[in-house]
Amino acid sequence: MRGKRAPGAIMGVPGLTGFVGERGAFFTELRLRDTKLVIDGSSLYHRLCFSSAAEFRRGGDYGALAATVRRFFGSLRACGVAAVVVLDGGRGAADRKLPTLRDRAAERLRAAHGLSRGQGGCLLPLLARHTFVQALRRLRVPFVQCFAEADREIAALASRWGCPVLSLDSDFCVFDLPGGYCPLSRFQWQEVCPGDGEPGCFIPALCFSADSFCGRFGRLQKSLLPLFAVLCGNDYGEVPALQGFFGKLPLPAGSPGGRRGKRGLMRGLLEWLAQFPGPAEAVEHVVRHLKERRREEVRELLCSSMEDYTPSDVNLEDFFQGGKYECEAARNSGLPQWVLDGLAKGELSPFLSDALILRSTFLHVQVENMQRPSAHSTALPIRQVIYGLLLKASQSSEAASASKQANKPPGVFEFDRIQKTLKKTFVQAANLPPHFCDDHFSLDKLTEVPMSCRQMLLLETLGVTMSFLESVPSHLQLPVAVTCYWTHCSEPKVKLLQLKALLLMIVSEELDRITNDPDPTALHEDDSIAYNQFLKWKEKKLQNKDFDLDAAHSFCQWQCCLQMGLYLNQLLSTPLSEPDLSRLYSGTLVHSLYQELKSTPSVENLFSSSPKMTQLYQVLLNTVKSSVSPDFFQKVTETKSESRKKKKASKKTKASRCPIPETQYLHDVNRFASLGVDD
């Protein structure tokens, strides 16, 4: 990913990675082998996703990401490296990183808009993290999802084990790590080398040395690095009221403005800090340059901010040995134990804990049509049911009591785009139907609700019944139910060719699954023939670089619906099997299929050599088509002149239209999604 800056992928102290990287003396060469390794999961899935993707406009190729994850951990295991992965959780009750997260969301929005217009850049696909977690589970890589920010818990575990940390977060240059910090950008896992005269092999890497770094600046103590990071500004923001101090800081000559100016400031700050025996003395000198009325406030802020670089009291070793995650913030949250366990094991998304604890969520933008409502608006009714379960369930909990407001309906603030601007919108939670409103649907007892009832709530939310899905393979029932919902609720309406392209993609992934299944009895000769024919077609047609933004918007809506379907399924303890995302969605493939279907309808017979795949395609297509009226797709198909007339008429009625077109559908089918958006 060299040369590309990925929104959200650069973390820690701004400019510090470049500052330490320009001097190789701060790093030592490392032959990584036969050791433990603590991996920053967020950094890793960003890095692997961007290295496995050729382009970023089509919504992600999750199979390619999963394959890269598999190769990465294969390299580690070949070298005897026992790795554990530590993932960030939710934003935490204090929500201290909110300004930084808003800035990153705005940055992702700008990147998505640029990609939609054919400009370069990269953007993390919507379901990349979920795909990564599924891959870790399949590969049996030990991992934990922290309750909030993971950095301090990563540092504590690596210090306990005396092993390196692998990350892209420059904050790990600041922690005092006995085993050092290995930047992922200098970690050559694809170039495993044989040992010189020793059995086994190793991965070439560079390891940051805090001792070498401090030695470059005279007698600089490592204990002063946290103050250095706080003064420079980190993910928790910059300390206000420090301009008076920086104005009097002696800086090296000849580095005005720009990147050189930032590095000059860092160099001057480090040389200034080297005169102090410890942070306490340095803090006192900093506050002397401030107005007296601000000194105590800034002193307290500096000291509390430096605590972000002390290893956590959480002992992750206990989790990896016994499966128990103990964290004071988690205990104080008031959440049921089954929720805390599910979060730690990655079985519940941090989206759910943010909605419950903070009443606030971020909806990540994709490469979509910025002139239309956000692709996430299609999945709004599903989110409202999630919020209804969480907020109804938590009304008596300590986590909710502090934020309850009299006479205000329960709801969640969502950060999402309105055209090309990030906006915060209040979304009212859905009222659950009467048969889901008894005490068993409180959060602490939700797992005790009979599976049939939980399944009914999931399917009613998606507008289907279990009998409707009986002919669909169990591992595809959730995606097909989501596809029915997407077809019914999307605005503009889904085109038949878009639906066919999506289902052909799902069938192709199913054919790939049985072809590569280790059980030879699962594969018949006609399946093998069909698979080889498909590979030849794919090799030829994937070269097509045509990009249809309207189709991309529709497929983004499908991913949003699937994401929220997955989260609701998680919250209800998976009444339907969770699909393998790496064998479900390929943005490059679905776009190619859609383009090909427009010019060559016979592509629909791509799998005709395999009766099994042909039957599967027909089952999926008939299931979705039977969920809408017989003339549904005929209404969608219209001439250009009709489209212009509708567009012209829509401008006249824009003020009177409902902003959420799917409201009537949910009212008719589900009868319980209490829709309402309060700007």
Q: What is the pLDDT of residue 176?
A: 93
377: its two tokens: 């608006």
Smallest CA-to-CA distance from 132 within 86, 166, 183 is with 86
User: How far is residue 316 from each of residues 110, 147, 171, 313, 325, measured CA to CA in Å?
Assistant: 37, 12, 19, 9, 7
The tokens describing 568, both together, are: 């609701």
Report the C-alpha gap between 121 and 339 in whole angstroms: 37
User: In sequence order, what DSSP letters do the residues of 510-532 get, joined into one string?
Assistant: HHHHHHT-S-GGG--HHHHHHHH
* Count of helix runs (H) and strand runs (E) in the chain: 28, 12
- The pLDDT of residue 518: 67
Contact in structure between 650 and 657 (CB atoms under 8 Å): yes
CA distance linking residue 481 with residue 629, whole number of Å: 16
Say how many Å lie between the first and final Cα of the chain, rounded.
39
Q: What is d(CA 317, CA 664) in angstroms, rounded to the nearest whole number?
A: 51
Alpha-carbon span 495 to 35, nearest angstrom: 53
CA 316 to chain centre: 22
Mean pLDDT taken over the chain: 86
Q: Where are the beta strands (DSSP E) in 142-199?
A: 143-145, 165-167, 181-183, 193-194
How much is the pLDDT for 251?
A: 61
Q: Would you state the structure tokens that stand for residue 259, as one six-digit string?
A: 């990147």
Q: Which residue has the tokens 């640029």?
A: 114
| Amino acid type, 248 | K
Element (H or E) spanning 95, and its range?
none
d(CA 410, CA 390): 10
Give the position of tokens 């309402």: 676
Structure tokens at 596: 């090909």
pTM: predicted TM-score of the whole model, two decimal places: 0.89
**What pLDDT sits at residue 326?**
93
Please tell me the predicted confidence (pLDDT) of residue 263: 81
Instruction: Please tell me what DSSP assigns to residue 586.
Output: B
- What does the alpha-carbon distance between residue 494 and residue 624 come to, in Å, rounded to a whole number? 12
Tell me the pLDDT tens digit for each residue of 325-345.
999 999 999 999 999 999 999
Looking at residue 378, its pLDDT comes to: 98
What is the distance between the alpha carbons of residues 348 and 447, in angstroms, rounded to a whole number? 13
Below-70 pLDDT ranges, the chain:
1-10, 22-23, 54, 197-198, 234-241, 243-244, 250-260, 393-408, 435, 437-440, 518, 520-522, 636-679
Q: Is the peptide bond before 277 cis (omega within 30 degrees of 0)?
A: no
pLDDT value, residue 235: 62
CA distances from 434 to 397, 446, 669, 671 (A): 22, 16, 15, 10
Within 8 A by CB and 6+ apart from 561, the residues are 378, 379, 382, 482, 485, 486, 489
Give Cα 262 to chain centroid, integer Å: 30
In this structure, which amino acid lies at residue 461? T
Listed in order, strand segments (DSSP E) in 410-551 are 411-418, 421-428
Count Cβ atoms within 10 A of the Cβ of residue 303 and give its class: 0-12 exposed, 13-18 middle, 19 or more buried.
middle
Cα four-point dihedral sign 448, 437, 92, 577: positive
Q: Report pLDDT digits (tens) over 148-167.
A: 999 999 999 999 999 999 99
In 3-state terms, what secondary structure has residue 439? helix
Rounded Cα–Cα distance for residues 510 and 613 (Å)? 8
| CA angle centred on 309, ends 306 and 314, rounded to 5° | 125
Residue 239 has what pLDDT? Answer: 63
